[in-house]
Structure 1
Protein backbone atom coordinates (compact mmCIF):
# COMPACT_ATOMS: atom_id res chain seq x y z
CA UNK A 1 0.00 0.00 0.00
CA UNK A 2 1.20 3.52 -0.81
CA UNK A 3 1.95 5.88 1.96
CA UNK A 4 1.05 9.51 1.49
CA UNK A 5 2.87 10.59 4.60
CA UNK A 6 4.73 13.89 4.18
CA UNK A 7 2.86 14.90 1.01
CA UNK A 8 1.06 17.64 2.91
CA UNK A 9 4.31 19.54 3.38
CA UNK A 10 5.15 19.42 -0.33
CA UNK A 11 1.83 20.66 -1.61
CA UNK A 12 2.26 23.67 -3.94
CA UNK A 13 6.06 23.34 -4.25
CA UNK A 14 5.81 22.24 -7.89
CA UNK A 15 3.52 25.18 -8.61
CA UNK A 16 5.94 27.62 -6.95
CA UNK A 17 8.91 26.17 -8.86
CA UNK A 18 6.94 26.38 -12.13
CA UNK A 19 5.98 30.00 -11.48
CA UNK A 20 9.59 30.97 -10.71
CA UNK A 21 10.76 29.21 -13.88
CA UNK A 22 8.03 30.99 -15.89
CA UNK A 23 9.08 34.36 -14.38
CA UNK A 24 12.72 33.70 -15.35
CA UNK A 25 11.72 32.82 -18.94
CA UNK A 26 9.53 35.93 -19.17
CA UNK A 27 12.42 38.15 -18.05
CA UNK A 28 14.74 36.55 -20.59
CA UNK A 29 12.11 37.04 -23.34
CA UNK A 30 11.57 40.71 -22.43
CA UNK A 31 15.31 41.37 -22.42
CA UNK A 32 15.66 39.71 -25.81
CA UNK A 33 12.83 41.82 -27.25
CA UNK A 34 14.36 45.03 -25.89
CA UNK A 35 17.71 44.07 -27.40
CA UNK A 36 16.08 43.28 -30.77
CA UNK A 37 14.24 46.64 -30.73
CA UNK A 38 17.46 48.50 -29.95
CA UNK A 39 19.28 46.73 -32.77
CA UNK A 40 16.46 47.56 -35.18
CA UNK A 41 16.69 51.27 -34.24
CA UNK A 42 20.46 51.22 -34.69
CA UNK A 43 20.09 49.56 -38.09
CA UNK A 44 17.50 52.14 -39.17
CA UNK A 45 19.83 54.94 -38.11
CA UNK A 46 22.70 53.39 -40.04
CA UNK A 47 20.53 53.03 -43.15
CA UNK A 48 19.52 56.71 -42.90
CA UNK A 49 23.18 57.71 -42.51
CA UNK A 50 24.18 55.73 -45.61
CA UNK A 51 21.32 57.22 -47.64
CA UNK A 52 22.33 60.73 -46.57
CA UNK A 53 25.95 60.01 -47.52
CA UNK A 54 24.89 58.69 -50.94
CA UNK A 55 22.68 61.75 -51.47
CA UNK A 56 25.63 64.02 -50.57
CA UNK A 57 27.87 62.08 -52.95
CA UNK A 58 25.30 62.51 -55.73
CA UNK A 59 24.99 66.24 -55.05
CA UNK A 60 28.79 66.60 -54.98
CA UNK A 61 29.15 64.89 -58.37
CA UNK A 62 26.32 67.04 -59.77
CA UNK A 63 28.09 70.21 -58.60
CA UNK A 64 31.40 69.03 -60.04
CA UNK A 65 29.73 68.26 -63.38
CA UNK A 66 28.20 71.76 -63.42
CA UNK A 67 31.69 73.22 -62.97
CA UNK A 68 33.17 70.88 -65.59
CA UNK A 69 30.52 71.67 -68.20
CA UNK A 70 30.69 75.41 -67.50
CA UNK A 71 26.90 75.71 -67.68
CA UNK A 72 26.77 78.15 -64.77
CA UNK A 73 29.21 80.93 -63.93
CA UNK A 74 30.35 81.56 -60.40
CA UNK A 75 31.99 84.88 -59.54
CA UNK A 76 35.35 84.86 -57.78
CA UNK A 77 35.06 85.31 -54.02
CA UNK A 78 34.95 89.06 -53.40
CA UNK A 79 36.19 88.95 -49.81
CA UNK A 80 38.20 86.32 -47.92
CA UNK A 81 35.21 85.42 -45.75
CA UNK A 82 33.37 84.31 -48.89
CA UNK A 83 36.25 81.98 -49.80
CA UNK A 84 36.05 80.13 -46.49
CA UNK A 85 34.20 76.82 -46.36
CA UNK A 86 30.51 77.57 -45.85
CA UNK A 87 29.89 77.50 -42.12
CA UNK A 88 26.15 77.35 -42.71
CA UNK A 89 26.35 73.90 -44.39
CA UNK A 90 25.12 71.93 -41.36
CA UNK A 91 22.09 74.23 -41.07
CA UNK A 92 20.98 74.56 -44.71
CA UNK A 93 17.39 73.51 -45.26
CA UNK A 94 16.45 75.50 -48.36
CA UNK A 95 17.99 76.54 -51.66
CA UNK A 96 19.03 80.13 -52.24
CA UNK A 97 21.70 82.70 -51.48
CA UNK A 98 23.15 82.94 -47.99
CA UNK A 99 23.95 86.62 -47.52
CA UNK A 100 26.56 86.06 -44.80
CA UNK A 101 28.71 83.55 -46.64
CA UNK A 102 27.83 84.61 -50.18
CA UNK A 103 27.17 80.97 -51.05
CA UNK A 104 24.25 80.05 -53.31
CA UNK A 105 22.77 76.67 -52.39
CA UNK A 106 21.19 74.68 -55.24
CA UNK A 107 18.60 72.01 -54.44
CA UNK A 108 18.90 68.40 -55.59
CA UNK A 109 16.51 65.48 -55.08
CA UNK A 110 17.80 64.72 -51.56
CA UNK A 111 20.00 67.65 -50.61
CA UNK A 112 21.87 70.73 -51.77
CA UNK A 113 25.17 71.75 -53.28
CA UNK A 114 27.08 75.01 -53.52
CA UNK A 115 30.05 76.07 -55.63
CA UNK A 116 32.60 78.72 -54.67
CA UNK A 117 35.08 80.14 -57.20
CA UNK A 118 38.35 80.37 -55.26
CA UNK A 119 40.24 82.04 -58.10
CA UNK A 120 43.05 81.23 -60.51
CA UNK A 121 46.28 79.59 -59.34
CA UNK A 122 49.37 78.24 -61.05
CA UNK A 123 51.48 75.19 -60.29
CA UNK A 124 48.59 72.86 -59.57
CA UNK A 125 49.78 69.34 -58.82
CA UNK A 126 49.15 67.10 -61.80
CA UNK A 127 49.17 69.91 -64.37
CA UNK A 128 52.14 71.02 -66.46
CA UNK A 129 54.17 73.79 -64.85
CA UNK A 130 52.88 77.28 -65.56
CA UNK A 131 49.40 76.13 -66.61
CA UNK A 132 46.85 78.18 -64.69
CA UNK A 133 43.76 76.54 -63.23
CA UNK A 134 40.66 77.93 -61.61
CA UNK A 135 39.87 76.31 -58.29
CA UNK A 136 36.29 75.66 -57.21
CA UNK A 137 35.11 74.41 -53.84
CA UNK A 138 32.04 72.20 -54.19
CA UNK A 139 30.16 71.57 -50.95
CA UNK A 140 27.30 69.07 -50.89
CA UNK A 141 24.70 68.20 -48.29
CA UNK A 142 22.76 64.94 -48.31
CA UNK A 143 19.55 64.52 -46.31
CA UNK A 144 17.69 61.38 -45.29
CA UNK A 145 15.30 61.34 -42.36
CA UNK A 146 17.15 62.84 -39.39
CA UNK A 147 20.56 62.10 -40.94
CA UNK A 148 22.66 64.74 -42.71
CA UNK A 149 26.01 64.31 -44.46
CA UNK A 150 28.27 67.10 -45.70
CA UNK A 151 30.97 66.46 -48.31
CA UNK A 152 33.39 68.84 -49.95
CA UNK A 153 35.84 68.74 -52.82
CA UNK A 154 38.22 71.14 -54.55
CA UNK A 155 37.87 71.02 -58.33
CA UNK A 156 40.60 72.42 -60.58
CA UNK A 157 39.46 73.50 -64.03
CA UNK A 158 42.04 74.45 -66.67
Structure 2
Protein backbone atom coordinates (compact mmCIF):
# COMPACT_ATOMS: atom_id res chain seq x y z
CA UNK A 1 0.00 0.00 0.00
CA UNK A 2 2.79 2.42 0.89
CA UNK A 3 4.45 1.68 -2.45
CA UNK A 4 1.29 2.57 -4.36
CA UNK A 5 0.86 5.86 -2.46
CA UNK A 6 4.53 6.70 -3.06
CA UNK A 7 4.20 6.05 -6.81
CA UNK A 8 1.07 8.22 -7.09
CA UNK A 9 2.78 10.98 -5.12
CA UNK A 10 5.86 10.73 -7.39
CA UNK A 11 3.62 10.95 -10.47
CA UNK A 12 1.96 14.11 -9.12
CA UNK A 13 5.33 15.71 -8.39
CA UNK A 14 6.54 14.84 -11.91
CA UNK A 15 3.45 16.45 -13.49
CA UNK A 16 3.92 19.59 -11.39
CA UNK A 17 7.61 19.74 -12.38
CA UNK A 18 6.86 19.36 -16.10
CA UNK A 19 4.16 22.04 -15.90
CA UNK A 20 6.53 24.43 -14.13
CA UNK A 21 9.19 23.82 -16.77
CA UNK A 22 6.72 24.60 -19.57
CA UNK A 23 5.67 27.83 -17.83
CA UNK A 24 9.28 28.90 -17.35
CA UNK A 25 10.06 28.24 -21.03
CA UNK A 26 6.98 30.19 -22.13
CA UNK A 27 7.88 33.13 -19.89
CA UNK A 28 11.42 33.15 -21.29
CA UNK A 29 10.07 33.26 -24.87
CA UNK A 30 7.70 36.10 -23.98
CA UNK A 31 10.51 38.07 -22.34
CA UNK A 32 12.72 37.62 -25.41
CA UNK A 33 9.88 38.71 -27.70
CA UNK A 34 9.23 41.81 -25.57
CA UNK A 35 12.93 42.66 -25.63
CA UNK A 36 13.08 42.36 -29.45
CA UNK A 37 9.93 44.45 -29.80
CA UNK A 38 11.47 47.12 -27.58
CA UNK A 39 14.71 47.11 -29.60
CA UNK A 40 12.86 47.40 -32.91
CA UNK A 41 10.80 50.30 -31.54
CA UNK A 42 13.95 52.11 -30.42
CA UNK A 43 15.58 51.45 -33.81
CA UNK A 44 12.49 52.86 -35.56
CA UNK A 45 12.57 55.96 -33.34
CA UNK A 46 16.24 56.44 -34.16
CA UNK A 47 15.58 56.07 -37.89
CA UNK A 48 12.66 58.52 -37.62
CA UNK A 49 14.94 61.11 -35.98
CA UNK A 50 17.56 60.53 -38.69
CA UNK A 51 14.94 61.08 -41.41
CA UNK A 52 13.64 64.24 -39.74
CA UNK A 53 17.23 65.45 -39.38
CA UNK A 54 17.82 64.91 -43.10
CA UNK A 55 14.68 66.90 -43.98
CA UNK A 56 15.71 69.67 -41.58
CA UNK A 57 18.92 70.36 -43.54
CA UNK A 58 18.66 73.65 -45.44
CA UNK A 59 19.64 72.16 -48.79
CA UNK A 60 17.18 69.22 -48.62
CA UNK A 61 14.74 69.16 -51.54
CA UNK A 62 12.44 66.49 -52.84
CA UNK A 63 9.84 66.80 -55.61
CA UNK A 64 6.24 66.74 -54.42
CA UNK A 65 4.38 63.54 -55.17
CA UNK A 66 1.03 63.59 -56.95
CA UNK A 67 -0.47 60.74 -54.91
CA UNK A 68 1.16 60.14 -51.56
CA UNK A 69 -0.27 57.15 -49.72
CA UNK A 70 1.90 55.78 -46.93
CA UNK A 71 4.43 53.37 -48.46
CA UNK A 72 2.93 49.89 -48.41
CA UNK A 73 6.34 48.23 -48.61
CA UNK A 74 7.31 49.56 -45.16
CA UNK A 75 6.10 46.31 -43.61
CA UNK A 76 8.57 44.31 -45.67
CA UNK A 77 11.46 46.57 -46.72
CA UNK A 78 14.78 44.75 -46.35
CA UNK A 79 17.28 46.89 -48.26
CA UNK A 80 18.00 50.54 -48.98
CA UNK A 81 17.14 51.96 -52.38
CA UNK A 82 14.28 53.33 -54.46
CA UNK A 83 10.95 51.53 -54.62
CA UNK A 84 9.38 51.73 -58.06
CA UNK A 85 5.81 51.28 -56.81
CA UNK A 86 5.65 53.99 -54.13
CA UNK A 87 8.51 56.18 -55.35
CA UNK A 88 10.05 56.25 -51.87
CA UNK A 89 13.83 56.00 -51.59
CA UNK A 90 14.70 54.02 -48.48
CA UNK A 91 17.85 55.04 -46.60
CA UNK A 92 19.57 52.54 -44.28
CA UNK A 93 20.40 53.40 -40.67
CA UNK A 94 22.08 51.26 -38.00
CA UNK A 95 19.11 48.93 -37.43
CA UNK A 96 16.47 50.08 -39.85
CA UNK A 97 15.44 52.32 -42.71
CA UNK A 98 13.66 55.59 -43.34
CA UNK A 99 11.90 57.02 -46.35
CA UNK A 100 10.68 60.57 -47.02
CA UNK A 101 7.76 61.80 -49.15
CA UNK A 102 7.08 65.45 -50.02
CA UNK A 103 3.35 65.98 -49.38
CA UNK A 104 3.38 69.51 -50.82
CA UNK A 105 3.04 73.06 -49.51
CA UNK A 106 0.41 74.40 -47.13
CA UNK A 107 -0.51 77.62 -45.34
CA UNK A 108 -2.37 75.86 -42.52
CA UNK A 109 0.24 73.72 -40.76
CA UNK A 110 -0.48 72.98 -37.11
CA UNK A 111 1.59 74.80 -34.46
CA UNK A 112 2.78 77.46 -36.93
CA UNK A 113 1.63 81.07 -37.12
CA UNK A 114 -1.40 81.56 -39.40
CA UNK A 115 -0.66 81.91 -43.12
CA UNK A 116 2.92 80.66 -42.75
CA UNK A 117 4.00 78.74 -45.83
CA UNK A 118 5.42 75.32 -45.01
CA UNK A 119 6.30 72.21 -46.97
CA UNK A 120 5.03 68.98 -45.41
CA UNK A 121 7.15 65.83 -45.49
CA UNK A 122 6.04 62.36 -44.40
CA UNK A 123 8.91 60.49 -42.77
CA UNK A 124 8.34 56.74 -42.48
CA UNK A 125 10.80 54.77 -40.37
CA UNK A 126 11.23 51.02 -40.01
CA UNK A 127 13.11 49.44 -37.11
CA UNK A 128 14.18 45.79 -37.26
CA UNK A 129 15.42 43.61 -34.41
CA UNK A 130 15.35 39.84 -34.87
CA UNK A 131 11.92 38.91 -36.21
CA UNK A 132 10.33 42.05 -34.77
CA UNK A 133 9.58 45.00 -37.05
CA UNK A 134 8.22 48.40 -36.00
CA UNK A 135 6.98 51.07 -38.41
CA UNK A 136 6.66 54.70 -37.27
CA UNK A 137 5.56 57.74 -39.23
CA UNK A 138 5.66 61.49 -38.67
CA UNK A 139 4.71 64.57 -40.65
CA UNK A 140 7.44 67.22 -40.64
CA UNK A 141 6.59 70.83 -41.54
CA UNK A 142 9.57 72.70 -42.98
CA UNK A 143 9.22 76.47 -43.18
1:6-21 matched pairs, under 5 angstroms? 13-21=1-9
1:1-158 matched pairs, under 5 angstroms? 13-70=1-58, 72-77=60-65, 79-80=66-67, 83-158=68-143
The count of corresponding residues between Structure 1 and Structure 2 is 143
SS at match of 2:43: helix
Which segments of 5 or more consecutive residues in structure 1 lack a partner in the other structure?
A: 1-12
The Cα shift of 1:71 comes to: 5.0
TM-score by length of 2: 0.96
| Structure showing greater Rg | 1
TM-score by length of 1: 0.87
* Root-mean-square deviation over aligned CA pairs: 1.0
SS at match of 2:120: strand
Which segments of 5 or more consecutive residues in structure 2 lack a partner in the other structure?
A: none
Instruction: Summarize deviations over 1:58-86 as a string: whole Å, max 9, x none.
Output: 00011001111235432211x21xx1110
Consecutive aligned runs of 4 or more in structure 1 exceeding 6 Å deviation: none
